Amino acid sequence: MFIKGPEIPGHSERVMTINLRMENISIFFGEFQALDEVGLEVSDGEVHGLLGENGAGKSSLMNILAGIYTPSSGTIIIDGETIPEMTVHKADELGIRFIHQELSVIKDLRVYENIFLSREVTGKFGFLNKKEMIERAAALLRSMNLDINVLDYIRDLDTSRQQLIEIAKAVMFEARLIIMDEPTTSLTNKEIEVLFDLMRKLKQSGVSMIYISHKMPELFSVCDKYTVLRDGKFIQSGEIRDIDEHGMTELMVGRTLTEAEYAGAAISDEVVFEVDNLCCEGFFNNVSFKLRRGEVLALTGLFGDGRAELSETLFGARRASSGEIKKSGARLMLHDIGAVMKSGVGMVPRSRKERSILPDLSILNNASMAYFVKSRGKLFVNKRDDLKRFGEMVSLMNIRYDNSDNFVTSLSGGNQQKVVLARWLETDSDVYIMDNPTQGIDVGAKFEVYKLINYLTENGKSIIIFSSEFPEIHRVCDRCIIMYKGMINAELGRDELTEIKMMYYSTGANLEAGTRERSND
């Protein structure tokens, strides 16, 4: 049976609903207790927000529900029936689908093959019915307003579209409860609207959803109820309409957060980084700007505006077609990461799993690798010095860890991101390029990153931050460059910047208006 809400092909208008109760769930990993008698209730056709800081136990609880982990104690009750042993197979039978934050698509398969993976359609002789799978996959993506060719290979899609394919796969089949773990991390605003519209249709058809996100506006937009976890313990559940963002934040972190003050007073007239008519064919053209000591410069725009490629080019990871970059007046080689690092430029890249974290190395080694690259020439590593530098970063970044020799994957996502930040802080660079530095981390960790940015600028560092979130940009930036179709469309000072103006220039509305005026003339 295939299910779906209105206008989702292949699904009935109403599905068999689900009522979930998880009672007194506990789990240990060695001596560490990740969950301590946690409870969760989700009703049919409900969107339930599951909140907490990184490491609060959200993922552990959902992995238990999906049959991936076995709890040390506790009970799972579905539709009034106790499930004696939840396994991956049992969860699948019950219609529980888990869309993980870390993508699990197979990049060497085509889009339709990923959607039907392990559920392939076959004919009477056991051969794959590719035509039917292609047609059904294409119809599903059309219903989701996604312009994706189902014959494309996953490896040729950007991260945001890979995420949408994960969501489409969960929607295609008999889902009664969909767990969404940070589903919008890599999505554009338009794609987020598509997802929310899809969620509303699924809700109308009776599908329940557990929605994990650190983005408060999203939670208040789509969720009916909420549950907050902290340090592996249940804190509070309730109706989303009965609480505000401030109250929710304090429940999550267990304390009153003091927001970092804007620190623009540290800016000097010294230009430390200069970009002149930089071009990368097919991605961006004629990008020019200057960055002063102590300044935070934000670059923003919409998907496909060339920002991602620009950030890579500034750091020497992508070859420019033309133009030049200067650091403190000295011209940089345009395709040499080592030279860029030695000049005093560091970079925190986007998508830590794909571009930052080395899962087979320890926490300490992940934190230290940029320092060793910048100061290479030493034959041996002095672990005492290594641990001393790391200890300083732990204090500065409030990194929560058990043993620095453990694999970095033993940390929560937020603490992994802090390790990535620590890696570059150890280089003591003059300029830091930060591409979406708060991606996938909780509200408390975000505040710590914002305070870190203030700390850096107060100590004479300069920062280029790539982000599409207006609250984040306005909280930390002195100036904002807005790109449209690979070119700078506007440059606004902090006092000029509003969310409306940011969207106006990001969409190129000013250019479209000018085109209409000329055509009318």
Helix axes 363-374, 383-397, angle to 10 degrees: 110
Q: How many whole angstroms separate alpha carbon 237 and alpha carbon 226?
A: 5
Check if the beta carbon of residue 206 is closer than 8 Å to that of residue 45.
yes
Q: How many whole angstroms separate alpha carbon 99 and alpha carbon 163?
A: 9
* 141-197 confidence digits (pLDDT tens): 888 778 899 999 998 887 778 878 888 888 787 788 999 988 887 777 777 887 888
Specify whether 97 is located in the same domain as 185: yes
Q: Name the nearest CA neighbour of 100 among 21, 40, 163.
A: 163
Specify whether 190 is located in the same domain as 99: yes
Measured between alpha carbons, how far is residue 191 from residues 185, 318, 408 in Å? 11, 27, 31
Q: For position 258, what pLDDT does the model report?
A: 55
Residue 3's Cβ-count burial label (10 Å; 0-12, 13-18, 19+) is buried
Specify whether 95 is located in the same domain as 198: yes
Residue type, 484: Y
Q: For position 518, what pLDDT does the model report?
A: 45
DSSP, residue by residue, 15-51? -----EEEEEEEEEETTEEEEEEEEEEE-TT-EEEEE
Q: How many whole angstroms separate alpha carbon 209 and alpha carbon 415?
A: 27
Written as six digits, the tokens of 100 are: 């993980």
Q: For position 5, what pLDDT does the model report?
A: 36
Q: Name the nearest CA neighbour of 121 among 112, 104, 133.
A: 133
Q: How many whole angstroms separate alpha carbon 24 and alpha carbon 251?
A: 20
Between β-strands 296-300 and 32-42, what pairing exists: parallel, antiparallel or unpaired? unpaired
Task: Report the domain count for the chain.
Answer: 3
Residue type, 81: E
Specify whether 453 is located in the same domain as 469: yes
Q: Could you say which of 197, 223, 253 is where a domain stops?
A: 253
Between β-strands 345-348 and 431-435, what pairing exists: parallel, antiparallel or unpaired? parallel
What are the residues whose beta carbons fall under 8 Å from the beta carbon of 266, sequence distance 6 or more?
294, 457, 458, 460
Q: For position 516, what pLDDT does the model report?
A: 45
Written as six digits, the tokens of 81 are: 């029936």
Specify whether 290 is located in the same domain as 239: no
Between β-strands 284-292 and 330-331, what pairing exists: parallel, antiparallel or unpaired? unpaired
Q: For position 469, what pLDDT does the model report?
A: 82
Inside any domain, residue 37: yes
Inside any domain, residue 150: no
Q: How many whole angstroms separate alpha carbon 189 and alpha carbon 67?
A: 32
For tokens 């920002």, the residue is 307
Reported residue count of the chain is 521
CATH for 447: 3.40.50.300
Q: Could you say which of 203, 223, 253 is where a domain stops?
A: 253
Q: How many whole angstroms separate alpha carbon 203 and alpha carbon 207?
A: 5
Specify whether 333 is located in the same domain as 248: no
Specify whether 439 is located in the same domain as 511: yes
Per-residue confidence in pLDDT tens, the chain, 521 aa: 233 333 555 444 555 678 899 999 999 987 778 899 999 999 988 999 999 877 788 989 999 999 999 999 999 999 999 999 999 999 988 989 898 876 778 888 999 999 898 888 888 888 889 999 999 999 988 887 788 999 999 988 877 788 788 888 887 877 889 999 888 877 777 778 878 888 888 888 888 999 998 788 889 989 999 999 988 999 999 999 999 888 888 888 776 655 555 556 678 899 999 999 999 998 999 999 999 999 999 999 877 788 889 999 999 889 999 999 999 999 987 778 888 888 899 998 887 777 778 888 888 888 887 877 776 656 666 778 878 888 888 877 778 877 888 888 888 777 888 888 888 888 889 999 999 888 777 777 788 888 889 889 988 999 999 998 888 898 889 999 999 989 999 999 988 998 888 888 988 887 765 544 444 45
Inside any domain, residue 303: yes
Inside any domain, residue 144: no
Q: How many whole angstroms separate alpha carbon 60 and alpha carbon 181?
A: 12
Helix (H, G, I), strand (E, B) or coil at 274: strand
Inside any domain, residue 488: yes
Residue-number span of the structural domain to which 455 is assigned: 266-344+429-517
Inside any domain, residue 492: yes
β-pair partners for 463 = 296, 432
For tokens 């991936």, the residue is 68
For tokens 């620590």, the residue is 422
Residue 518's Cβ-count burial label (10 Å; 0-12, 13-18, 19+) is exposed
Specify whether 223 is located in the same domain as 277: no
Inside any domain, residue 290: yes
Written as six digits, the tokens of 459 are: 């100590």
Q: Would you tell me how many other CB atoms lie within 10 Å of the CB of residue 111?
A: 28
Specify whether 396 is located in the same domain as 506: no
Specify whether 74 is located in the same domain as 205: yes
Helix (H, G, I), strand (E, B) or coil at 10: coil
Q: Would you tell me how many other CB atoms lie within 10 Å of the CB of residue 515?
A: 11
Written as six digits, the tokens of 461 are: 């560092």
Q: For position 252, what pLDDT does the model report?
A: 84
Q: Could you say which of 428, 459, 482 is where a domain stops?
A: 428
Inside any domain, residue 26: yes
Specify whether 332 is located in the same domain as 367: no
Specify whether 372 is located in the same domain as 301: no
DSSP 176: S
Check if the beta carbon of residue 239 is closer than 8 Å to that of residue 465.
no
Q: For position 380, what pLDDT does the model report?
A: 65
Measured between alpha carbons, how far is residue 492 from residues 298, 420, 483, 495 in Å? 10, 30, 12, 8
Handedness of CA 53, 55, 57, 60 (dihedral sign): positive
